[in-house]
Amino acid sequence: MVLSDKLFPHDISAEESVIGSLLLDGLAFTKIASFLEPEHFYLEPNKIIFEIARDLFNRQEPINQISIAHELETQEKLEDVGGRAYLAKVVDVVPTSIHIKHYANLVRRTATMRTLINAAENISEIGFDNDPDIENALSKAEDIIYSIRNDQPSRDFVPLRETLTPYLESSSSDLNDDENRPISSGFKLLDDLLGGLQRSDMLVLAARPSVGKSMFALNLAINAAMNDQKVAIYSLEMGREQIATRMLATQARVNMHSLRMMRLSSSQENRLVDAIGRLSDLSIFIDDSPVQGVAEMRGKARRLQLEYGLDFIIVDYMQLISNNKGSRETNRAQEVSEISRQIKAMARDLKVPVIAISQLSRAIEHRQSHRPLLSDLRESGSIEQDADVVMFIHREEKFTTKEDWIKNNPGVPYPEGQAEIIVAKHRNGPTDTIPLAVDDSIGRFVTIDSVKNNQLSTQEN
């Protein structure tokens, strides 16, 4: 398919200036080695010469007009590039190598534009394929564009003073209003420990089934949204209707079963109407697609961020994410490790905290102590390594009956309705355990102080 009769973007002067700069000063190669490749050149002679220069650099041999000519002659390519006359010509193009990085950036820019044109052709072919799965087609198109963005020059070393400059230019109050401020979890002790949910962080929230992972995550989502944060929830397990029901029960403080059956008292109905109004005003976006990979999630999140803004992401849960790069030879642990790395990259790319919910191994149920350990992360792979924060939810009542508790812990009250948020890993700070109270019937976690003030549940009224 021919898109047009136009010439592909290129800058011959910039290409010759790069080559000429290298022939004048071979050490200048170090300034461009990290982001310029032979395929970025439009003219074949320049591509060949740059590749020769790179080979000499890798062999730690000098790069100059003589060494390049000798290597080209050895490989019988000297005439292909225009002979020694062409080498002499490009040397005369530039008086100095001081601006080589600028010339290289121009070459890289036009190469990217050519890649973009090719991408447009590939995307048009996807459209002509007439794939009935439109989401799959869109995902393929996004992957093509993202691969171009992902292929941009990696960040070079940055002096510390440049990183510190924003702190010098802004007052503390300005920093608090900055887009980089952390997200409040809504739980004071947890915020005090973590400094809030830090942007670009990957936070793993793990527990055994039915302990309250999704419930706690939805509490975090509501708390963040009530502070004017825009929240995205990827729910691979629950449908959006079930999530909405849970949120309504939490906010209205009515029994979830009663809400599903619509057996509510007049006061509960009033609270329900009020909760619907409050939740409707929140910027919470739910994607309940049951099968999707991180690349697809990342593309959707990027679109959401551009259209509405985005401050916080919840993924429920990791082990249900598909890995499009997986193969028959790849075991599940390796797949989850790759998924973990991609989630961390998504957090950094979008500059938002990402809560990734994870299952725990069954081993926790077969030992004397049921308190989770980092080694309990199911199919852990690199989850622990990638995560900036690892939090476990522990509820002893889920593992020990009241009778067994009384028998083994005489005089100690049974921990009914009690939960612990165990911060087992905190890359940039201390670890600790945060005590909370929980009411499963309304899906609500609260601080112990709130329980003392009778703020946990009013479901009987």
pLDDT tens by residue, 202-219: 999 998 888 889 999 999
Domain membership flag for residue 165 = no
SS3 content of the chain, % helix, strand, coil (to 5): 50, 10, 35
Last residue of a domain, one of 137, 153, 169: 153
Could you tell me whether strands 231-235 and 389-394 are parallel, antiparallel, or unpaired per DSSP bridges?
Answer: unpaired
Q: Where are the alpha helices (H) located in 156-261, listed in sequence order?
A: 160-169, 172-177, 188-194, 213-226, 240-252, 256-261
What's the pLDDT score for residue 414? 84
* Residue-wise pLDDT tens digits, 131-148: 767 777 777 787 777 777
Average pLDDT over residues 67-91: 93
What's the pLDDT score for residue 158? 62
Of the given ranges (168-182, 221-235, 382-396), which has the lowest mean pLDDT? 168-182
Q: Would you say residue 26 has pLDDT above 70?
A: yes
Domain membership flag for residue 105 = yes
Could you tell me whether strands 312-316 and 284-287 are parallel, antiparallel, or unpaired per DSSP bridges?
Answer: unpaired
Reading phi first (left if > 0) and then psi (alpha if -120 to 50, else beta), residue 411 is in: left
Average pLDDT over residues 168-179: 52
Number of structural domains found in the chain: 2
Q: Would you say residue 363 has pLDDT above 80?
A: no
Which residues are annotated as catalytic? 237
What's the pLDDT score for residue 160? 65
Residues 399 and 363 placed together within one structural domain of the fold = yes
Residues 79 and 137 placed together within one structural domain of the fold = yes
* Residue-wise pLDDT tens digits, 257-300: 888 888 888 888 888 888 888 888 889 999 888 878 887 788 78
Residue 435 maps to which CATH number? Answer: 3.40.50.300
Candidates 154, 117, 155, 136; CA nearest to 295 is 136
Last residue of a domain, one of 118, 153, 188: 153
Kindly tell me the burial class for residue 165, based on how many C-beta atoms sit within 10 Å of its own C-beta (0-12, 13-18, 19 or more): exposed
**Cβ pair 444, 219 in contact under 8 A:** yes
What single letter denotes the amino acid at residue 275? A
Domain membership flag for residue 401 = yes
Domain membership flag for residue 184 = yes
The single residue listed with the structure tokens 């997200």 is 183
Domain membership flag for residue 158 = no
Instruction: Say how far apart CA 317 and CA 33 lie, in whole Å.
Output: 40
Res. 81 pLDDT band, cuts 50 70 90: very high
Give bridge partners of residue 360 from the DSSP assignment: 377
Domain membership flag for residue 186 = yes
Residues 148 and 194 placed together within one structural domain of the fold = no
Domain membership flag for residue 170 = no
Average pLDDT over residues 97-117: 92
What's the pLDDT score for residue 461? 44
The single residue listed with the structure tokens 């963040």 is 224
* Residue-wise pLDDT tens digits, 411-453: 888 888 888 999 999 999 999 999 999 888 888 898 876 555 5
Residues 23 and 108 placed together within one structural domain of the fold = yes
Residue 62 maps to which CATH number? Answer: 1.10.860.10
What single letter denotes the amino acid at residue 318? M
Residue 260 lies in domain: 178-452
What's the pLDDT score for residue 457? 47
Instruction: Say how far apart CA 113 and CA 135 lie, in whole Å.
Output: 26
Last residue of a domain, one of 153, 188, 222: 153
Q: Would you say residue 201 has pLDDT above 70?
A: yes
**Cβ pair 21, 105 in contact under 8 A:** no
Rounded to a whole number, what is the distance in angstroms from the first to the last CA of the chain?
Answer: 69
The single residue listed with the structure tokens 């190598």 is 97
**Cβ pair 257, 217 in contact under 8 A:** no
What's the pLDDT score for residue 360? 84
Number of Cβ within 10 Å of residue 411's Cβ equals 5
Residues 210 and 143 placed together within one structural domain of the fold = no
Residues 329 and 418 placed together within one structural domain of the fold = yes
Q: Can you say how many angstroms the Cα of residue 424 is from the centroid of all Cα atoms in its chain?
A: 21
Tell me which of 65 and 58 has the higher pLDDT. Answer: 65
Residues 136 and 195 placed together within one structural domain of the fold = no
Tell me which of 87 and 413 has the higher pLDDT. Answer: 87
Domain membership flag for residue 164 = no
What's the pLDDT score for residue 458? 43
Structure tokens at 68: 């390049």
Average pLDDT over residues 59-67: 91
Structure tokens at 334: 């390796």
Q: Would you say residue 18 has pLDDT above 90?
A: yes
What's the pLDDT score for residue 103? 94
What's the pLDDT score for residue 166? 57
Most confident of 23-37, 151-165, 320-334: 23-37
Tell me which of 132 and 239 has the higher pLDDT. Answer: 239
Q: Would you say residue 156 has pLDDT above 80?
A: no
Residues 81 and 224 placed together within one structural domain of the fold = no
Q: Where are the alpha helices (H) located in 62-151, listed in sequence order?
A: 65-74, 83-93, 100-128, 134-150
What's the pLDDT score for residue 370? 79
Res. 324 pLDDT band, cuts 50 70 90: low
Entry pTM: 0.66
Candidates 205, 182, 204, 186; CA nearest to 195 is 182
What's the pLDDT score for residue 153? 60
What's the pLDDT score for residue 454? 54
Residues 210 and 91 placed together within one structural domain of the fold = no
Residues 133 and 216 placed together within one structural domain of the fold = no
What's the pLDDT score for residue 1? 45
Residues 271 and 407 placed together within one structural domain of the fold = yes
Structure tokens at 206: 């793990």
Candidates 52, 77, 63; CA nearest to 30 is 63
Residues 148 and 243 placed together within one structural domain of the fold = no
What's the pLDDT score for residue 69? 94
Q: Can you say how many angstroms the Cα of residue 297 is from the centroid of all Cα atoms in its chain?
A: 9
